Structure 1
Amino acid sequence: MSAPRVPGDQLCQVTPSEELQQAIAEFNGQEWFACHETLEELWVGAQGELRDFYQGLLQVAVALYHWRNGNFKGAEGLLQRGPDLLRRVPDTCLGVDVARVVAEAGLLREALLTLGEEQMAELDQSLIPKLHRAEP
């Protein structure tokens, strides 16, 4: 039996999959490479706003992976591109507070730009974004 068709403008309103819940746990556990792998599986088959949603989260996760590994340019660039994709979707998508991810990624990017490549390891750890459930 196939899943019921959901209109494109309501795709963000469906219940999050187990895979997305796994990706959220990986992201929040700072397992950013594993999160990237999980989100990539979801992104490949997605269309429209869900594709932007998964790719945006994926890019923020990879940005954090790059930051941890000392890749300033990779982190900074993806902290811009990921939120740009997330701005294309509703503020809440699949139960995730997208607006908060965008805001937190922006604060992190600004902090990295202020620190610069030489001091990026001194980043205030409280600025590392987490994926939060949207308030009902």
Structure 2
Amino acid sequence: MADSNDVMPHYRAGIELFNNCEFFEAHDVWEELWSEYRGPSRTFYQGLIQVAVALHHFCNGNVRGAKKLYSSSRAYLDPYRPMHLGCDLDHLFLEMEECFGEMLAQEEGAAPVEINPELIPEIHLDEEALTKAIAEHSSEVVE
């Protein structure tokens, strides 16, 4: 991915899929971006991939996989807080904590917790912040 014309459509498409609860599909789009991207936002994209897969696992009853990827996604995304490329990470983490809270508090071996559809997070994209990030730090987007 050589320039923002290549990166941003994948980034936005992944967000749209994610917000439509098409988590595996969002993962696929972001993974294509991540596999070719070598800039400083690479681990940000990896974190988004892991958020999507954590939710995919949770929706499909794979609690162990969901817990593991929930934790690793936070580790990848924490350095980019509170916002990166227009993505409100503080809000995303708050919604993830609400969605995963009961599952994370669950004792090992207890009956699996089902995801509450009303608590499934969405990614909130601040267009103004994204435009500013692209203008000010184009190397973070286009390397």
Name the TM-score, length of structure 1 as normaliser.
0.78
Partner SS, residue 41 of structure 2: helix
Q: Which residue of 2 aligns with 1:12?
A: none
- Count how many residue pairs are aligned between Structure 1 and Structure 2: 123
Task: Return 5+ residue gaps in structure 1 as ranges.
Answer: 5-15
User: Is the 8 Å Cα contact of residues 54 and 66 (structure 2) preserved in structure 1?
Assistant: yes
Counterpart of 2:11 in structure 1: which amino acid?
L
Q: Which residue of 1 aligns with 2:26?
A: 35
Counterpart of 2:82 in structure 1: which amino acid?
D
User: Is the 8 Å Cα contact of residues 32 and 62 (structure 1) preserved in structure 2?
Assistant: yes
Counterpart of 1:102 in structure 2: which amino acid?
F
User: Is the 8 Å Cα contact of residues 63 and 75 (structure 1) preserved in structure 2?
Assistant: yes
**Aligned match of 2:17 in 23, 26, 30?**
26
* Pairing 1:79–2:77 present: no
**Aligned match of 1:113 in 104, 119, 129?**
104
- For residues 101-123 of structure 1, the C-alpha deviation after alignment (integer angstroms, 9 at most, x for no partner) is 122223333221235652411x3
Q: Distance in 2 between matches of 1:98 and 1:31?
A: 19
Q: Which residue of 1 aligns with 2:53?
A: 62
Q: Distance in 1 between matches of 2:103 and 2:48?
A: 19
User: Is the 8 Å Cα contact of residues 63 and 112 (structure 2) preserved in structure 1?
Assistant: no
Q: Please give the residue correspondences for 1:7-18 in structure 2 after superposition, counting only pairs within 5 Å.
A: 17-18=8-9
Moved more, 124-133 or 110-119: 110-119
Q: Distance in 2 between matches of 1:39 and 1:59?
A: 10
Name the TM-score, length of structure 2 as normaliser.
0.75
The 3 A distance-change label for structure 1 pair 69 and 124 is closer
User: Is the 8 Å Cα contact of residues 49 and 88 (structure 1) preserved in structure 2?
Assistant: no
Counterpart of 1:20 in structure 2: which amino acid?
Y
Q: Distance in 2 between matches of 1:28 and 1:115?
A: 26
User: Is the 8 Å Cα contact of residues 64 and 75 (structure 1) preserved in structure 2?
Assistant: yes
Q: Distance in 2 between matches of 1:36 and 1:61?
A: 6
Q: Distance in 2 between matches of 1:47 and 1:111?
A: 36
Task: Return 5+ residue gaps in structure 2 as ranges.
Answer: 129-143
Q: CA deviation at 1:73?
A: 0.3
